[in-house]
Amino acid sequence: MRNIRLMIKEQTPLYIFVAVLFLVGVIFGALIVSALTLDQQQDLGEYLGSFFVTVDQQVLPADTGSFWAIAVLHLKWIGLIWILGLSVIGLPGILILDFLKGVLIGFTVGTLVAQYSWHGMLFALVSVAPHNLVLIPALLVCSAAAIAFSLQMIRSRVLGQRRPSVNRPFAMYTMLSLSMALLILGVSSFETWVTPAMMRWVTPYLIFKS
């Protein structure tokens, strides 16, 4: 664990870089909402209205099947980032994934706010924000580690620089990714059993407004 903490400290500039890239994606996603046509906004409003009614009427508690569906969805991001970090050509893919994740969150929150004003912001705070406060940093940590390992591969394989064996960096990179994967399992538990209850608490306000 000490080696992993040291690795994280050394990669601080990469964390800043991927965080800025993610924030740019969030801003871009929010701007997309304002660029939608009136018909597209109306379609989104109708879809959200139906979604809120479904959430409000859902009385069955979530089961383990729901948990694994959510967990697998998040773990796919971790797994894809890890795989891209192993290849020399995977670096652009990691950056695209971070930017895309920001776009998705920015578009989601922007749509809720555009459609429902502060009620939409309240819904975003209980449905989008809680688990993403842990999920996004975990993804960014994995992304920074993947970029660092990919750069090391580029220096040793493409540029032909003499570098120490990649066995230890690979082991640390994999251990870090597995640690983030375990953290995401905990986040998925929260998203499965706690977030729906919080959403049902807020949805009556949005149904009334719609």
Over residues 148-156, mean pLDDT: 84
H/E element, 52: helix 38-57
Q: What is the pLDDT of residues 72-131, one digit of tens each?
A: 999 999 999 999 999 878 899 999 999 999 999 999 999 999 988 898 999 999 999 999
Identify the domain containing residue 43 by its residue range. 2-209
- φ and ψ at 178, to 5 degrees? -65, -35
Q: What is the pLDDT of residues 8-37, one digit of tens each?
A: 777 889 999 999 999 999 999 999 998 988
Would you state the structure tokens that stand for residue 40, as one six-digit string? 């597209």
Query: When comparing pLDDT for 61 and 179, which is higher?
Result: 179
Residue 173 CB: number of other CB atoms within 10 A?
23
Please give the pLDDT value at position 204. 84
- φ and ψ at 165, to 5 degrees? -55, 140
Label residue 158 by pLDDT band (50, 70, 90). low
Range in 67-81, 137-151, 160-174 the model is least confident about: 160-174
Characterize 114-132 residue by residue with b for buried, 16 or more Cβ atoms within 10 angstroms of its Cβ, and e for exposed. Answer: bbbeebbebbbebbbebbb
State yes or no: pLDDT of 191 exceeds 80. yes
Please give the pLDDT value at position 153. 81
State yes or no: pLDDT of 60 exceeds 60. no
For the full predicted model, state whether its pTM sits above 0.75.
yes
Number of domains in the chain: 1
Over residues 176-185, mean pLDDT: 94
Mapping DSSP to helix (H, G, I), strand (E, B) and coil, where does residue 62 land? coil
Please give the pLDDT value at position 72. 95
How does the average pLDDT of the chain come out, rounded?
A: 87
